[in-house]
Structure formats: C-alpha cells, structure tokens
Copies of this chain bind each other. A is one copy, B any other.
Amino acid sequence: MPRATFFNLPADKRQRIIEVALEEFAERPYDQASISRVVSRLGIAKGSLYQYFDGKRELFTWLVEEAGRKKLEAVSATPPPTGADLYARLRWLYAQGLLFIAASPRWARVALRSVEPSLDPEISRLRASSEAAAQAFLREQLARGQEEGSVRGDLSLELVVPLVHGLLSEGLMRAFLARAGVTDPLDPAAQSLGREDALAVVDAALSLLERGLRRGAP
C-alpha cells in the first residue's frame, strides 16, 4: 500500500519512518493517531509523508498488514506439533501468539488495532472483516474438533465460538499481561514476560477449555 517512493528510500530512513509511525499507531487508536505528530517526530515535511503513503488510512492499513505478516512469520518460526488434537494445536498456536506480544509489543498492538472500532467507515470495514476472520478461524477449528471427537457434538458452535473467542483473545491476553502486573502490552514491564509465562497462561486456558468442551470425563 505504500507508494513506490517509500521503497526507494534509503533503508535507514524508511526504517525510521516505520518505527515512528508504528509508535504512533501503537499508542493510539486510529482516530486519535495523528499524521502531524508522525511527521513532526520524524522532522520531515508533511508533504513528504504523503509521497510515501496516500494518506492516513493507507499508512495505518499497511502497518496492520505488516503486523500480520510479522506475526505470521513469528508464529511460523516454530514448527507446529504434528499428529496433535485440537487442544494441542490451539495450545501451540496461542502460545506463539503470546510470545509475539512479548517479543514485538508494538507490532502486536498495531495488529490489535485492526479490531478496534473507528469513525472512519473504511477502517470500520477493516475491523469488521478482521473480526469475522478471527471467528471463522475458530469456528473451523472447533468444527474440526467435533469431527475428531475432541469437542462434544451437541454444542452449538453459534454459541460456543464467540465465547471461546472471548476467552482466547481478550482473556488470554489479560492473563498473560497480568503475570507481569501489567494491563498494556506496551508497558515496559511487559518485556519481562517470557516463554514460561506464555506456556503457563495458555495451559490454564486450554485445560479450562478442554474440560469445558471435550466429550466425556475431563
């Protein structure tokens, strides 16, 4: 989504622009983030930023996409468990997600911005589709779980998917950050969070989930 101009920039300058913009959009929801602040922190002319990006929307959506790519990359770094059931798969996946937060809190924050509401209608559309994609993914997983027999077949996915979504998105995140006594992924104290924290939190969430969802005795 950036213009060619942006990629022709010297790597270090491009990097600085990304960093400053990332900081701005990580710290503030889309509507509050300010292009003026970005350029003033960068010490470049306002028009220059408009050479690189068509506007605020494009800059934001590109950052969000970039965040998605970085997250995917980070998640893919560790190979997924093979021959595992639903709970093992989710355990692995969400642990990776938490580790991404600890490793790249600002990118993670920007990724989360994509599910925040906005007054800008186009950004709202982005939000809606992000949310829908997340739920669709969960639904697919749980449906597969039902086929595998690891999720009770009598559960209505219509009801369960959003509930699980709440548990594994906001719930998991809150539990993870709480281990550092923190509420916000950008809080410096969140940097102390590591692999063990992620695993502990995900374990708690998934054993709760497994007991709750699996057929028969837990």
Interface residues of A (CB under 8 A from B): 28-29, 31-32, 117, 119, 128, 131, 155-156, 158-175, 178-179, 183, 200-201, 204-205, 207-209, 211-213, 217-218
Instruction: Say which residue of B162, B169, B173, B201 sits within 8 Å of A175 (CB atoms).
Output: B162
Residues of B close to A158: CB separation below 8 A: 178-179
Residues of B close to A31: CB separation below 8 A: 29, 31-32
Evaluate whether A119 and B166 lie within 8 angstroms (CB atoms) in the complex, with A158-B178, A159-B204, A211-B211 already known. no
Copies in the complex: 4
Contact A160 B208 (CB under 8 A): yes
Closest to A213 in B: B208
Min Cβ gap A39→B in Å is: 13
CA distance A209 to B184 in the complex (A): 26
Q: Can you report 17 A-B residue pairs in the complex whose CB atoms are below 8 A from each other?
A: A29-B31, A158-B178, A161-B175, A162-B175, A162-B178, A163-B172, A163-B204, A165-B171, A166-B171, A167-B167, A169-B170, A171-B171, A207-B212, A208-B213, A211-B213, A211-B218, A212-B212
